[in-house]
Amino acid sequence: MEMTLNEVVFYLLSTVIVVCSILTVTTTRILRSATYLLFVLFATAGLYFQMNYSFMGAVQLTVYAGGVIVLYVFSILLTSSPGGDKERPKRKYMFAGLSAVVVGALLSIYLILTHSFPASRYVAGEIDMKTIGQVLMGTEKYQYLLPFEAVSVLLLACIVGGILIARKR
Amino acid sequence: MFDFAVVTQWVDTLLRSFLPDQAALLVEFLLVGLCLLTAYALIALALIYGERKICAWFQCRLGPNRVGPYGLIQPVADMIKMLIKELIDMNHSDKFLFRVAPFIVIISSVLAFGCIPFAKGLEILDFNVGIFFLLAVSSIGIVGILLAGWSSNNKFSLIGAMRSGAQMISYELSIGLTILTMVVLSGSMQLSTIVESQANGWFIFTGHIPAFIAFVIYMIAGTAETNRGPFDLPEADSELTAGYHTEYSGIQFGFFYLAEYLNMFVVAAVATTLFWGGWMPLHIPGFDNFNMIMDYIPSLFWFIGKVAVMIFIIMWFKWTFPRLRIDQLLRLEWKYLLPINLINLMLMVLIVVFGLHF
């Protein structure tokens, strides 16, 4: 079977994503779970880099691997005793989780089967930083200033909420 | 000026002449990886030797002088010792995380190391978001340190790791903002373009006041980011034994040690690239003969010379200033460096908009 180097890398990264995703939810120790999640995010960033989409990959690394995971690990270390195995979930919760999984799986399969994947408008080569910046900060069609501002309002609400919760004694 | 692209092109054509394209690529990947790791290890040895000698001079001692001439073989002997030591596992700790943590730290350090433009045509990862990528990968190391501290099952390690995490997250802000200041000046995030655009004068001269302020802040924040003195309280040996890597032995400890020294090298190299022209020789506009003479010195020597000066400054910090307390350290960052940095960024933007730089 003829396989290009690109395909080998793709299958390697996909395997890492699948295996580590499963390990993330099956492991009983919360800090291990965070570490497996870190590997998943690494491999996803690897996929972005493979598509030569280095800006997206770098954002993935800073925001998720460098930011969110560090935050997770910090808050796990500060709040719970992370060493102990977590207790078995109650049957009621098991049932709820299982039904959520089934509904989610059905929905995804339905979407994948019915969606017609159009030929990708993939442009070879890296995207200029200037283009990304202008698209992010512009107000015209296909430019993202308004959603961007909306997201920052959301973050502001989160910060205010966090302060309120922290101050309430 | 000698362009190293000639060498890499030659290797490329040579490999493609007798191998299919895919195999040639694979061999090239392996070669690049091998060169990178060799350079990584050799630079670490040189840095360890340099640190011990410089520390000795500052303290009016001789430093290593028994193994080889001037003690030059001492770091090699230390390396062999470290390689053959036993790896000790902790009881009642998470062994998987304990073993994974050093790898996360060293991977982040190697990736950052791979972004540096060493000489003309001698750069490995050269994305158009190069400097952003470098920041991104160097922030991964924190996860490794936190995991190492926790999985050691030791109070001192955990305190060291928490301190280190708080310190690195705080000072990363300053590093990011100073880099942003310089990106505003250069108008590009690609490291090779940043170096090329300093052909008519290094940024520390063309960007004058804000560039100099940014440089000073960068050096302070960079020293803190690498957990070196006077900001070495995550591993303060008098109070925490050795902080997050107390329980590690053998090569696992070696990984932390290597990563720490190489992070210092990366910080120095980024300072060189952003402020002092990277491998670009000293050019003064108008002095054509002088510029020609400067071009005869190979670009690799320029780069290594400048990095050595930066590293000497960082070591000078360490052996001169006493250690800060954790509250002083965080106050320095959040109350002084960060506001100065933001104002400095504003100043730089104004200067670039009104064209007041050289």
Q: Please say if the pLDDT value at position B354 is more than 80.
A: yes
Q: Which range has the worst mean pLDDT, A94-108, A119-133, B48-62? A: A119-133
Is B288 part of a structural domain of the chain? yes
Contacts 24+ apart (CB under 8 A), B35-42: B36/B110, B36/B113, B36/B114, B36/B124, B37/B110, B39/B113, B40/B110, B40/B113, B40/B258, B40/B262, B41/B258
Mean pLDDT for chain B overall: 85
Residue B85's pLDDT is: 85
Residue B233's pLDDT is: 74
* B308 burial type by CB count under 10 A (0-12 exposed, 13-18 middle, 19+ buried): middle
Is B301 part of a structural domain of the chain? yes
Residue B135's pLDDT is: 87
Architecture of the domain spanning A5-127: Up-down Bundle (1.20)
Per-residue pLDDT tens digits for B257-272: 888 888 899 999 999 9
How many CA atoms does the CB half-sphere of B63 hold within 13 Å?
Answer: 21
Q: Which one of A33, A48, A61, A123 would you mutate to disrupt binding with B, by most B Cβ within 10 Å of its Cβ?
A: A61
* B344 burial type by CB count under 10 A (0-12 exposed, 13-18 middle, 19+ buried): buried
**Pairwise pLDDT comparison (A150 vs A108), residue with the higher score:** A108
Is B20 part of a structural domain of the chain? no
Q: Please say if the pLDDT value at position A160 is more than 90.
A: no
Is B270 part of a structural domain of the chain? yes
Q: Which range has the worst mean pLDDT, A47-61, A128-142, B94-108? A: A128-142
Average pLDDT over residues B103-123: 86
Q: Which range has the worst mean pLDDT, A86-90, B70-74, B80-84, B257-261? A: A86-90
Give domain limits for chain A: 5-127, 128-169
Q: Which residues contact B45 (CB under 8 A, 6 or more apart)?
A: B75, B76, B79
Among chain A residues, CA nearest to B127: A54
Average pLDDT over residues B239-264: 81
Q: Please say if the pLDDT value at position A123 is more than 80.
A: no
| Count of domains observed in chain B | 1
Per-residue pLDDT tens digits for B297-327: 888 888 899 899 999 988 888 888 888 888 8
Residue range(s) defining the domain that contains residue B337: 88-353
Helix (H, G, I), strand (E, B) or coil at B119: strand
Residue A136's pLDDT is: 78
Q: Please say if the pLDDT value at position B250 is more than 70.
A: yes
Which phi and psi (to 5°) does residue B119 adopt?
A: -155, 180
Q: Which of B26, B94, B139 sits opposite A66 (nearest CB)?
A: B139
Is B32 part of a structural domain of the chain? no
Q: Which of B94, B140, B147 sits opposite A66 (nearest CB)?
A: B140
**Pairwise pLDDT comparison (A75 vs A108), residue with the higher score:** A108
Residue B136's pLDDT is: 87
CB spacing of A77 vs B135 below 8 angstroms: no
**Percent of the residues in chain B that have a pLDDT greater than 70, as a whole number:** 99
Is B276 part of a structural domain of the chain? yes
**Pairwise pLDDT comparison (A56 vs B242), residue with the higher score:** A56
* B206 burial type by CB count under 10 A (0-12 exposed, 13-18 middle, 19+ buried): middle
Give the 3-state secondary structure of B249-294: CHHHHHHHHHHHHHHHHHHHHHHHHHHCCCCCCCCCCCCHHHHHHH
Label residue B127 by pLDDT band (50, 70, 90). confident
Q: Which of A57, A70, A126 sits opposite B142 (nearest CB)?
A: A70
Average pLDDT over residues A16-36: 87
Residue A106's pLDDT is: 94
Label residue A87 by pLDDT band (50, 70, 90). low
What separation, in Å, do the N-terminal and C-terminal C-alpha atoms of chain A show?
66
Q: Report how far residue B306's alpha carbon sits from residue B276's, in angstroms, rounded to the nearest whole number.
A: 8
Q: Looking at the complex, does the CB of residue A13 fall below 8 Å from at least one CB of chain B?
A: no
Is B263 part of a structural domain of the chain? yes
Sign, CA torsion B167/B132/B222/B213:
negative
- Encoding tokens for residue B152? 């050691």
CB spacing of B150 vs A82 below 8 angstroms: yes
Label residue A104 by pLDDT band (50, 70, 90). very high
Q: Looking at the complex, does the CB of residue A58 fall below 8 Å from at least one CB of chain B?
A: yes
Q: Report how far residue B44's alpha carbon sits from residue B106's, in angstroms, rounded to the nearest whole number.
A: 12
In this prediction the pTM is 0.86
Q: Report how far residue A47's alpha carbon sits from residue A6's, in angstroms, rounded to the nearest whole number.
A: 10
Average pLDDT over residues A80-98: 72
Which phi and psi (to 5°) does residue B92 adopt?
A: 55, 40
Beta bridge pairs of residue B119: B122
Beta bridge pairs of residue B122: B119
Helix (H, G, I), strand (E, B) or coil at B160: helix
Residue B125 DSSP one-character state: -
Q: Looking at the complex, does the CB of residue A55 fall below 8 Å from at least one CB of chain B?
A: yes
Q: Which range has the worst mean pLDDT, A12-21, B132-141, B219-228, B242-251? A: B242-251
Average pLDDT over residues B63-86: 85
Q: Please say if the pLDDT value at position A14 is more than 60.
A: yes
Q: Please say if the pLDDT value at position B229 is more than 70.
A: yes
